[in-house]
Amino acid sequence: DTGVSQNPRHKITKRGQNVTFRCDPISEHNRLYWYRQTLGQGPEFLTYFQNEAQLEKSRLLSDRFSAERPKGSFSTLEIQRTEQGDSAMYLCASSLAAIFWGYPFPEAFFGQGTRLTVV
């Protein structure tokens, strides 16, 4: 399977615990995105990496959230001191930068997500 892989698929944790999710993008993709999707809503942008550099973080990403992409390959998203409001599906997407502006537009490929439930 050469798609975007996310682990674990499901995570149940007690409030206050730390959790870490992993995303393995498509191998040649240099861009990696994290999104959060709550029930009945569309995914919301959290953060973005170009290779190993984290270039943008959403205001949704509180200080309890940290993401890394060492060596520009896989990425991890850690949530410290989880709260019930963190319960959501966390989606990872990757894309390959366009050769030149405008065309072709870099398609984002999504993984199946990690569903987090904080009890």
Partner 1 sequence: QQQVKQSPQSLIVQKGGIPIINCAYENTAFDYFPWYQQFPGKGPALLIAIRPDVSEKKEGRFTISFNKSAKQFSLHIMDSQPGDSATYFCAATSQSNFGNEKLTFGTGTRLTIIP
Residues that bind partner 1 (CB under 8 A): 4, 31, 33, 35, 40-45, 48, 50, 55-56, 91, 93, 95, 97-98, 101-102, 105-113
Q: Shortest distance, CB of residue 69 to partner 1, whole angstroms? A: 14
Closest to partner 1 by CB, 50 vs 62, is 50
Residue 83 or residue 107: which is nearer to partner 1 going by CB? 107
Q: Could you tell me the smallest distance in angstroms from the CB atom of residue 81 to partner 1?
A: 26
Q: Where are the alpha helices (DSSP H) in 39-89?
A: none
Query: Which H or E run contains 62?
Result: none
12 versus 55: smaller Cβ distance to partner 1:
55
Full 3-state SS string of 9-52: CEEEECCCCCEEEEEECCCCCCEEEEEEECCCCCCEEEEEEECC
Cis before 104 (ω within 30): yes
For the chain, report the end-to-end CA distance as a whole number of angstroms: 33
Whichever of 74 and 110 has its CB closer to partner 1, that residue is 110
CB of residue 51 vs partner 1: minimum separation in angstroms?
A: 11
